[in-house]
Amino acid sequence: MFLFNDNDEEFYWIGLKSVAGVGNVTFRRLLERFDSPQAALSASPNELATVKGLSPTVVDGIRGGAWQRFAEQECQRLRTSGARLMTFTSADYPKSLFEIPDPPPFLYIRGELRTSQPAIAIVGSRKATSYGLLAAGRLSEGLARHGMVVVSGMARGVDTAAHKGALLAGGRTTGVLGCGIDKVYPPENRKLYDEMVEKGCLVSEFPLGTLPLAENFPRRNRIISGLSRGVLVIEAAENSGSLITAQYALEQGRDVFAVPGNISFASSRGSNRLIKQGAKLVDCVEDILEELPGSRTTASGENGEAPSRNFALTPKEAAIYELLARSPLHIDDIINQTELTAGEVSSMLLHLELKGAITPLPGTHYATAG
């Protein structure tokens, strides 16, 4: 007998995501068709077979009971972890994540995720030199004093220095984890972890209890850049995870910045190469602020809020918003790229317009607003 009932929405979100073969894209496709995780998990095999790309293995997984056992255990862990789920239909879900190729259906959150303030990611070497740590701390502190949220990955080295710099300035910082949100990694960051829960935010897309495995970190890097308006790289070796984050940023249309490093150090080769390739050289906070129109604020951090994009979305609305977040589209293209009928697309476009989420363009094209 399961402890959770129909009113426990998290149970079904977690359950659907745990089905083998249901990745982020398949999850959202199922919600386009069935409107809710509960409805998708209750659908018949014939109904499920109508969803594009759904394999027999996924259908069997949905019809089986393994997801129920996992979802119950995960909900129990969630209740005691101090974390909460933020689904992609929530008004608070960062709309900038719709611009990345596979936004997670939900995030585990501790603390307060403020999406109204502009954010800059700072990433770099885990084995940073004293120069790299000093640069990360000073630039982070300066950005925070100008009302910017500092986003990083809670790793040793540059990440830790960036988070601490923002907190030292009385600003806000967001840590994106490559493990479950209930895991403190590295362990020496326990005090920083607790302080960020109180004065910032911790974010993870991984289930509770997930260990900090190496394969998780490249994946979390797309969230770091997705939450930010630009990425600043400090001391990155060639082929480092920081360069993966910078590549994600370029693909997502974000600005890339780099602090020049000592040419004698291998840890500077990646960041110096970014500058050669066109990343903006940074030696002061103003170098970043001048590239972000509308982000310059007073030194006290006032007037730092960006135009609000805090609106809730239904799964069908989210399917359309995600497409338009990447580029403007004609209505026919929207119909072709979703699981929705022409009538549903027209209706959802109207709803999104009324919410101020999208704007119509000439020739029956649409784009996101703001």
Residue 132 lies in a domain: yes
Whichever domain contains 38, its CATH number is 1.10.150.20
**54 and 131, same domain (yes or no):** no
Q: How far apart are the two ends of the chain, measured CA to CA in Å?
A: 48
Task: Tell me: pLDDT of 260 over 50.
Answer: yes
Residue 15 lies in a domain: yes
The SS3 call for residue 28 is: helix
**227 and 355, same domain (yes or no):** no
Domain boundary among 38, 64, 81: 81
Task: Tell me: pLDDT of 294 over 80.
Answer: no
Complete DSSP assignment for 72-88: HHHHHHHHHHT-EEEET
Q: Which pLDDT value is given to residue 46? A: 93
- Residue 334 — pLDDT band, cuts 50, 70, 90? very high
Residue 308 lies in a domain: no
**30 and 163, same domain (yes or no):** no
Mean pLDDT of 86-100: 94
Least confident range of 62-66, 108-112, 186-190, 237-241: 237-241
Mean pLDDT of 159-175: 97
Mean pLDDT of 105-119: 94
The mean pLDDT of the chain is 91
The SS3 call for residue 163 is: helix
Task: Tell me: pLDDT of 259 over 90.
Answer: yes
Mean pLDDT of 14-43: 94
Please tell me the total count of domains within the chain. Answer: 3
**198 and 52, same domain (yes or no):** no
Mean pLDDT of 172-176: 97
Domain boundary among 39, 60, 81: 81
CB 113 within 8 A of CB 174: yes
CB 203 within 8 A of CB 223: yes
**257 and 147, same domain (yes or no):** yes
Whichever domain contains 191, its CATH number is 3.40.50.450
Task: Tell me: pLDDT of 143 over 90.
Answer: yes
Mean pLDDT of 284-293: 91
**203 and 277, same domain (yes or no):** yes
Task: Tell me: pLDDT of 4 over 90.
Answer: no
Task: Tell me: pLDDT of 324 over 70.
Answer: yes
Task: Tell me: pLDDT of 361 over 90.
Answer: yes
Q: Which pLDDT value is given to residue 94? A: 95
- Give the contacts of 354 (CB within 8 A, at least 6 positions apart): none
Q: Which pLDDT value is given to residue 5? A: 45
Residue 191 lies in a domain: yes
pLDDT in tens, 42-90: 999 999 988 988 999 999 999 988 999 999 999 999 999 999 999 999 9
**21 and 129, same domain (yes or no):** no
Full residue range of the structural domain in which residue 358 is found:
315-368
**284 and 148, same domain (yes or no):** yes
- Residue 6 — pLDDT band, cuts 50, 70, 90? very low
CB 208 within 8 A of CB 181: yes
Task: Tell me: pLDDT of 370 over 80.
Answer: no
Q: Which pLDDT value is given to residue 306? A: 54
Q: Higher confidence at residue 302 or residue 113? A: 113
- Residue 307 — pLDDT band, cuts 50, 70, 90? low
Residue 331 lies in a domain: yes
157 vs 125: CA distance, rounded Å:
6
Angle subtended at Cα 327 by Cα 322 and Cα 330, rounded to the nearest 5 degrees: 95
**56 and 126, same domain (yes or no):** no
Domain boundary among 289, 306, 324: 289
Task: Tell me: pLDDT of 179 over 60.
Answer: yes
Residue 167 lies in a domain: yes
Q: Is the Cα torsion angle 179, 3, 27, 112 positive or negative in sign?
A: negative
The 10 Å Cβ neighbour count of residue 342 is: 11
Residue 297 lies in a domain: no
**32 and 114, same domain (yes or no):** no
Q: Which pLDDT value is given to residue 308? A: 61
Whichever domain contains 345, its CATH number is 1.10.10.10
**136 and 29, same domain (yes or no):** no
Q: Which pLDDT value is given to residue 302? A: 45
Cα 16 to chain centroid, rounded = 20
Q: Which pLDDT value is given to residue 303? A: 45
Residue 299 lies in a domain: no
Q: Is the pTM of this model over 0.95?
A: no
Q: What is the largest CA-CA distance in the chain?
A: 64
Task: Tell me: pLDDT of 300 over 90.
Answer: no
CB 316 within 8 A of CB 35: yes
Q: Do β-strands 280-281 and 149-152 pair in parallel, antiparallel, or remain unpaired? A: unpaired
**156 and 217, same domain (yes or no):** yes
Task: Tell me: pLDDT of 222 over 70.
Answer: yes
